[in-house]
């Protein structure tokens, strides 16, 4: 082997890389961006989760003293305000309604005789009275539900310690409003299914489109009367069929093999994820206009994959992302797909509750397709 000829090849490769800004981004910027986003997305705790409190506790006057005490008020006062944002409502029905409408993640309920029962239990441990704090949660997001339950438990311990209460008080979170029997995989799979479909459709679209360019087919089509909008529409129709088939396969496999919970309409869940597939191929067509060969097309994968992977709530709740980074979640279309898919499958919501997510996804599709047509027209011009 001639080492001089080998070094010549090495120099040629480095010379080519130095003239390819996309490769430079891939080699130096993408690793930094990846580790920064990973570190930020997974370094936080669940914060600023809205819960509602129904405090019907009448308190208790400890004889012979005239002091009126309320253990429920002490528990509420000791809730970690960094984790939960507390609103007071008058009735249990009102609190449950807020959770059902997605306006809160849980309702904490203190019965009217709560403090009285606790002190009776302290005086006579054999007496049969209810000393439970009922917490009814939306468990469609298991991480958020666990954070709320822990916050209530910690507040109870602090309140009991400060007031010298030794009676057994329990936090009963068994009656979930949503996701009562859901397991972690029921929360996890709708998000990961959406992400897998997003990435697969993106890769398939961008490599195929760039293949049209490198083979010269695109250049030949551009000298025909074929309009750019017609070309893009043809691609959308073809790969939409592929996306629909992939969606059916992923959903069917998840339901049949992994037995994931589907409370709502499986057809509506299919529609949500199918919209994401169409959105993904629209993004693939747009970004493919910036690539001249397949190697360059692949370099766009981290840019397309990392933000959805980390800030869309697929693995980690949006509520656990640093507050200043959370707005990025709402600029990423997979956030709306994941939220809608989970709401349908775990909450049983219909179009009336997820229409905003559907409209936003449709808006992304329209904008991306318009930009794709414009980029092709610009290339022809």
pLDDT in tens, the chain (381 residues): 567 766 676 776 667 656 666 556 656 666 666 666 656 555 567 888 999 999 999 988 877 777 788 999 999 999 999 899 999 999 999 999 999 999 999 999 999 999 999 888 888 888 888 889 999 999 888 888 989 999 999 999 999 888 887 767 889 998 899 988 777 778 777 888 888 888 888 888 887 877 777 777 766 766 677 777 877 788 788 878 888 888 888 888 888 888 888 889 999 999 998 898 888 888 888 887 776 666 666 777 777 777 777 778 777 777 777 777 778 888 888 899 989 998 999 899 999 999 999 999 999 999 988 888 887 777 665
Residue 187 and residue 146 in one domain? no
Secondary structure (3-state) at 54: strand
In this structure, what CATH number is given to the domain that contains residue 92? Answer: 3.40.1710
Q: Which of 172, 194, 218 is the last residue of a domain?
A: 172
Whether 13 maps to a domain, the answer reads no
C-alpha–C-alpha distance, residues 181 and 175, integer Å:
10
> Under a CB-based contact definition with an 8 Å cutoff, are residues 140 and 93 in contact?
no
Q: What pLDDT, on a 0 to 100 scale, did the predictor assign at position 205?
A: 82
Residue among 196, 283, 178 nearest 235 (CA)? 283
Q: What pLDDT, on a 0 to 100 scale, did the predictor assign at position 1?
A: 59
Cβ neighbour number for residue 350 with a 10 Å cutoff: 13
Tokens encoding 228: 């750019």
| Domains in the chain, number | 2
Residue 342 and residue 360 in one domain? yes
Non-local (6+) Cβ contacts of 313 within 8 A are 141, 191, 329, 335, 338, 339
Q: Which of 154, 172, 190 is the last residue of a domain?
A: 172
Residue 162 and residue 189 in one domain? no
Whether 102 maps to a domain, the answer reads yes
Q: What pLDDT, on a 0 to 100 scale, did the predictor assign at position 334?
A: 87
Residue 72 and residue 194 in one domain? no
Residue 76 and residue 210 in one domain? no
Whether 340 maps to a domain, the answer reads yes
Structural domain boundaries enclosing 103: 49-172
Q: What pLDDT, on a 0 to 100 scale, did the predictor assign at position 34?
A: 60
Beta bridge partners, 50, equal 85
Whether 17 maps to a domain, the answer reads no
Residue 127 and residue 57 in one domain? yes
Whether 38 maps to a domain, the answer reads no
Q: Which of 107, 140, 172 is the last residue of a domain?
A: 172
Burial degree of 6 (CB within 10 A; 0-12, 13-18, 19+): exposed
The 3 state secondary structure assigned to 228-271 is HHHHHHHHHHHHHHHHHHHHHHHHHHHHHHCCCCCCCCHHHHHH
How far are the Cα atoms of 312, 313, 326 from residue 319, in angstroms, in the given order? 11, 9, 8
> Under a CB-based contact definition with an 8 Å cutoff, are residues 134 and 175 in contact?
yes
Residue 186 and residue 168 in one domain? no
Residue 168 and residue 188 in one domain? no
Residue 350 and residue 369 in one domain? yes
Whether 193 maps to a domain, the answer reads yes
């Amino acid at each position: 082997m001639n080492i001089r000829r080998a070094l010549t090849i090495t120099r040629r490769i480095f010379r080519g890389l130095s003239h390819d800004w996309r490769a430079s981004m891939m080699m130096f910027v993408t690793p930094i961006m990846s580790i920064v986003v990973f570190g930020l997305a997974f370094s936080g705790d669940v914060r600023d989760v809205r819960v509602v409190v129904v405090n019907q506790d009448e308190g208790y006057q400890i004889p012979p003293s005239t002091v009126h005490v309320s253990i429920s008020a002490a528990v509420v006062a000791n809730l970690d305000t960094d984790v939960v944002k507390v609103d007071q409502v008058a009735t249990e029905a009102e609190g449950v309604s807020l959770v059902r409408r997605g306006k809160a993640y849980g309702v904490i309920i203190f019965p009217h005789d709560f403090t009285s029962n606790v002190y009776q239990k302290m005086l006579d441990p054999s007496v049969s009275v209810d000393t439970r704090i009922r917490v009814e949660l939306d468990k469609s997001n298991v991480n958020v539900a666990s954070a709320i339950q822990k916050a209530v438990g910690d507040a109870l311990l602090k309140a009991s310690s400060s007031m010298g209460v030794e009676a057994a008080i329990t936090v009963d979170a068994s009656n979930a409003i949503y996701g009562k029997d859901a397991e972690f995989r029921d929360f996890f799979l709708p998000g990961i299914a959406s992400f897998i479909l997003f990435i697969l459709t993106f890769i398939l679209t961008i490599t195929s489109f760039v293949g049209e360019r490198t083979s010269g087919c695109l250049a030949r089509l551009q000298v025909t009367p074929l309009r750019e909008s017609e070309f893009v529409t043809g691609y959308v129709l073809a790969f939409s069929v592929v996306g629909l088939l992939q969606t059916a396969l992923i959903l069917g496999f998840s339901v049949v093999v992994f037995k994931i919970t589907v409370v709502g309409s499986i057809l509506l869940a299919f529609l949500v994820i199918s919209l994401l597939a169409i959105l993904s191929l629209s993004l693939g067509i747009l970004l493919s206009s910036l690539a001249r060969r397949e190697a360059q097309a692949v370099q766009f994968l981290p840019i397309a994959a990392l933000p959805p992977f980390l800030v869309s709530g697929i693995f980690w709740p949006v509520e656990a992302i640093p507050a200043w980074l959370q707005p990025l979640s709402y600029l990423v279309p997979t956030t709306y797909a994941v939220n809608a898919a989970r709401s349908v499958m775990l909450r049983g919501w219909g179009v009336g509750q997820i229409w905003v997510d559907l409209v936003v996804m449709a808006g992304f599709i329209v904008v991306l397709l318009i930009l794709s047509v414009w980029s092709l027209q610009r290339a022809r011009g």
